[in-house]
Structure 1
């Protein structure tokens, strides 16, 4: 089965963006013991952007499959 890896990584990145918006909109999700949740989303977004750049550069493409 052929899968567009760049689309999968982009979808995951957009899901992290959506999660960040939800965490920031709902106060109970980023206060007190959950203060690290927004940073987890930001980290997911940053890694997604790096992964997307890696895949689109051609180094992350599986040319042997």
Structure 2
């Protein structure tokens, strides 16, 4: 029989026993700092990828004829929208620390 005032081993509220009971509490981790993300560089790489995709679709006839005639326009739209994003971030509204 166990005493009703002390919880049984393994029961909720029971004090840990064994090697875990001898350890002191772990120190608190340092405050996390946000990572610096170079947004302008990321957008510029994306713009370059859209330009390369446009050149590939224009140089390979199978990629811009027939049912795929809209593919070059998708690349143009991606480049233009990326340019708007680049201008937005460049002005300091998207990531003020990257604005020049």
> Is TM (by shorter chain) over 0.5?
yes
Corresponding residue number in structure 2 for 1:24: 58
More helix by percentage = 1
Deviations 1:5-48, CA, capped at 9 Å, x for gaps? 00000100110000000000000000000000000000000011
Corresponding residue number in structure 1 for 2:41: 7
Which aligned pairs between 1:1-65 and structure 2 lie closer than 5 A? 1-61=35-95
Other structure's SS at 1:9 match: helix
Relative to the length of structure 2, the TM-score reads: 0.60
Relative to the length of structure 1, the TM-score reads: 0.92
After TM superposition, what 4+ stretches of structure 1 lie above 6 angstroms from structure 2? none
Contact 2:40 2:86 in 1 (8 A): yes
RMSD of the TM alignment (CA)? 1.1
Q: Which runs of 5+ in 2 are unaligned?
A: 1-34
Q: Which runs of 5+ in 1 are unaligned?
A: none
Tell me how far 1:3 sits from its aligned partner. 1.3
